[in-house]
Amino acid sequence: MLTDRIETGWIAAFAEVFELCKIRKSECVVLLCESQSRALNVHLAELALGQLGLSHFKLEVPTPGAVAGPIIRSSGAAQCLNGQELAVKTLAEADVVIDLTLEGLMHAPQTAAILKGGARIMNISNEHPEALARTVPTSDLKDRAKEAVARCRAAKVMTVRSDAGTDLRVAMEGAATVGIWGWTDRPGTLAHWPGGIIVSFPKAGSVNGRLAYQPGDMNLTFKRYFDSSVELTLVDDYVTDIAGRGTDAGLMRDYFAAFGEADAYATSHVGWGFNPGARYEALAMYDKRDTNCTELRAVAGNFLYSTGANEFAGRFTRGHFDLPMMGCDIALDGHLVVEAGVLK
């Protein structure tokens, strides 16, 4: 975008999402941000809350200084609450937390305590507001999400295959499955905007096979489309081999290795996108500073494989890859939910 200024349509988009969250005037609303949060989105959130007559207070914590080692982007695990016990206690006592941190609280270690306190967390991804306004959630996303959650929770096996050579098997029994439709109106829950994603966190030792990435698939950690072929081999959750001769494979090998820990190679979650408003070409249309790639996770029909933190398998690591793959067949107990990249 050329000019970062307030637009009335962007205020309206924020207000629409807050209305979907059913925030009452009697509730305690905390707007959580950090010193490097996107100021434009913080301002839009404040204006939208004011327009709805909802009081709030802003809790801003410092963005942690850069540490030696790999650069962290689009991880979903905000680091700004580390060592901020009083802030975490305050958030847990709130009714609504509007999360405007850089990475979001989806995988942050403090999130469980905040949700256990009864707060509901509405994460607004660190996207340019133009992208947010294009992906304001609709009621049908909730219906799709609930249907997908029910199917995943009832399934024993997820299989993913493609003409390029992908052949993955995921044991689904005992997996923790979450549907994200873009807003939350229940205590103790978290949602993020943009929404339209189903994710399952498998139990330890549940993921085996291979993933064959082709040009046009997406590496959201690096905020780029693949321009060469990469094949990942997975054994009992862990990436054990990264095959490929191009820049993509080389970058991935170096980034995985930079964390110096085995769990960086492990599976975080699997799932697919189902938001018809999410645009595949969005990654080509925005500068890297203007996208956190949440929209790309929600593109309808993509298979989303992610490495990194999986609290349900007892793993936490700063390493994280989100790797949406297009054109796959995704099946639950042999029944297709996505065929050749198209939702069934």
User: Is residue 31 classed as helix, strand or coil in its secondary structure?
Assistant: strand
For 57, counting Cβ atoms within 10 Å of its Cβ (0-12 exposed, 13-18 middle, 19+ buried), the class is exposed
pLDDT-derived band at 316, boundaries 50, 70, 90: confident
What is the pTM (predicted TM-score) of this model? 0.93
Per-residue tokens: 153: 């929770």
pLDDT-derived band at 4, boundaries 50, 70, 90: confident
Adjacent-strand bridge partners of 321: 307
Taking the CB of residue 5, how many other CB atoms lie within 10 A of it? 8
Q: Of how many residues is the chain composed?
A: 344
Is pLDDT above 80 for 81? Answer: yes
pLDDT of 309: 84
Is pLDDT above 70 for 2? Answer: no
Is pLDDT above 80 for 3? Answer: no
**Which ranges in the chain are annotated with CATH 3.40.50?**
8-134
Q: What is the DSSP letter of 63?
A: P
Is pLDDT above 60 for 1? Answer: no
| Section 82-92 average pLDDT | 97
| Section 95-112 average pLDDT | 94
The C-alpha atoms of residue 189 and residue 120 are separated, in whole angstroms, by 5
The b/e string for 171-183 (b: 16+ C-beta within 10 A; e otherwise) is bbeebbbbbbbbb
Question: How much of the chain, in percent, has pLDDT values that exceed 90?
Answer: 89
User: Is residue 71 classed as helix, strand or coil in its secondary structure?
Assistant: coil
Q: Could you tell me which of 52, 45, 104 has the C-alpha nearest to residue 79? A: 104
CATH 3.40.50 fits 8-134, yes or no: yes
Q: First vs last Cα of the chain: how many Å apart?
A: 35
The C-alpha atoms of residue 139 and residue 239 are separated, in whole angstroms, by 37
| Section 289-305 average pLDDT | 96
The C-alpha atoms of residue 183 and residue 99 are separated, in whole angstroms, by 12
Within 8 A by CB and 6+ apart from 52, the residues are 15, 18, 19, 23
| Helix (H), strand (E) at residue 278 | none
Distance of CA 253 to the CA centre of its chain: 22
User: Is residue 272 classed as helix, strand or coil in its secondary structure?
Assistant: strand
Is pLDDT above 70 for 185? Answer: yes
Q: What is the DSSP letter of 165?
A: S
pLDDT of 291: 94
Task: Judge whether 299 and 292 are in contact, CB under 8 Å.
Answer: no
pLDDT of 40: 97
User: Is residue 142 classed as helix, strand or coil in its secondary structure?
Assistant: helix
